[in-house]
Every structure is written in structure tokens, then in C-alpha cells.
Amino acid sequence: MATQPVSDVVINRLPLYLRMLEFLEKAGKTITSSQELSECLDMSSAQIRKDLSYFGEFGKQGTGYNVAFLQGQLRQILHVDRAWNVILVGAGDLGRALAHYQGFAAQGFRLVAIFDNAPKKIGLTVGALTVQGMTELPRCVRDRKLQIAILAVPAVAAQAVADELVELGIRAILNYAPITLSVPPEVKVYYIDPVVGLQSMTYYL
């Protein structure tokens, strides 16, 4: 653990380092360096060394980082050295795409339930799950003490659903709805917004 509070910006970069280390391991590498990571990730090696230094000493000057060891450490730091159960709210096109996405389970995020409020969607099978009505949501979240939800509902419904999720004890929301959610400070929201991505690339065109 870090000995001092670390900014969100640093925390948000750790999964990128983890992803790159997994990639290097698959490519057969056992040792890497902040220099190599920086070239792959398009950021400075000094930034990477500084980010990692908040959490300890993971490499030796001149010998670099052990790929497997640093991966393990990052997984511990990010609390992804365990499995997490996740619910999905919204069973439209996007919700169904997310339910079929293999990347969640591969990284220890297990989708355990899908909810929607549209009668014609309730009861449908999506992957290995059956879409449940929103009335089933409270019991599911409370009984299983769930903390993570993926929100894939229309923008107009998103704040009301987020309010309900927070009330039930959800502490992390992966939000696909294109609005800024208002949540208490103890709740984290990560925004997936493709327009932000497009707009940050057109700068260069």
C-alpha cells in the first residue's frame, strides 16, 4: 500500500502498466524497464518510475523490473488479486455487448446479474444470464454485498439508477451513460465516453 494518499491520476495509470506487463509476459519477456514501458505507453519513463515509487521499490537501478513480480504487486495494489462480482444495469444493445465481452471474466470481474426495467427485456437470456426486473435489484445487491455496477442505461435514466445503486451500497460505477453523475465522495465513477476519445484525437487532424 502507499504510505501517502496517491492522486486518482496515478491510480488510473496503474491498470495501463498492468496491461502492458501482461502483454510483455505473453510476448515471452521476463524483465522490462521503465524505458521499455514508456515507449509502449507513450509517456515518460520518469513518470512511470515516479508513479511506481509511491508504492515501493520494485526494480533495481540498471537491472529493470521483473515482469511477473511487478504484475503481482500491481494486482495487489489495485485489489485485483481476487475475483469481484459485478452487476450490469441495462440490457439494450450496449448491455448485451458488455454481457458477451470476454475481457471482464479474464481479469477477474464476474458478471453475476443483469437488470432492465423494460418488460419485454425481462426474462431474456443474455449469455449465461437471464435479464431480471429492477425490482429484483435491491435483494441481489444486498444479499451478495456487491460493490461494483456497470451502468448501460439511457442518459435520462442514469442518475436515478445511480442513486438507487449508491443507496444499496454500490461503491464503484462504470458509467456508459453520456452524463456526469452526481454521487457521494465515497463512491467512484469511471466514465466510458467515446466522444471524449474522438474529440481528443481530432486535435491532431
- Residues 155-194: x where in contact with a second copy by CB under 8 A, - otherwise, as a string: ----------------xx-x---xxx-------x-x-xxx
Distance CA 159, CA 180 (A): 9
Span of 80-88, 112-120, 133-141, 160-168 interacting with a second copy by CB under 8 A: 80-88
Residue whose CB is less far from a second copy, 26 or 60: 26
User: Residue 69 corresponds to which amino acid?
Assistant: F
Q: What secondary structure, in 3-state letters, does 72-92 show?
A: HHHHHHCCCCCCEEEEEECCC
Q: Which of 124, 147, 159, 164 binds a second copy (CB under 8 A)?
A: 147
Q: Compare residues 23 and 135 and give the one whose CB is closer to a second copy.
A: 23
Q: Is 96 in the site for a second copy (CB under 8 A)?
A: yes
What are residue 123's phi and psi, to 5 degrees?
95, -15
Backbone angles phi, psi at 19, to 5 degrees: -60, -45
Please classify residue 101 by burial: count the beta carbons closer than 10 Å to its beta carbon, then call 0-12 exposed, 13-18 middle and 19+ buried: middle
Q: Does 136 bind a second copy (CB under 8 A)?
A: no
Q: Contact 19/75 with Cβ under 8 angstroms?
A: no
Name the DSSP letter for residue 134.
Answer: G
Show contacts with a second copy in window 17-76 (CB under 8 A): 18-20, 23, 40, 42-43
Interface residues with a second copy (CB under 8 A) are 8-9, 11-12, 14-16, 18-20, 23, 40, 42-43, 77-80, 84, 86, 92-94, 96-98, 100-101, 103-104, 107, 109, 147-148, 150, 171-172, 174, 178-180, 188, 190, 192-205
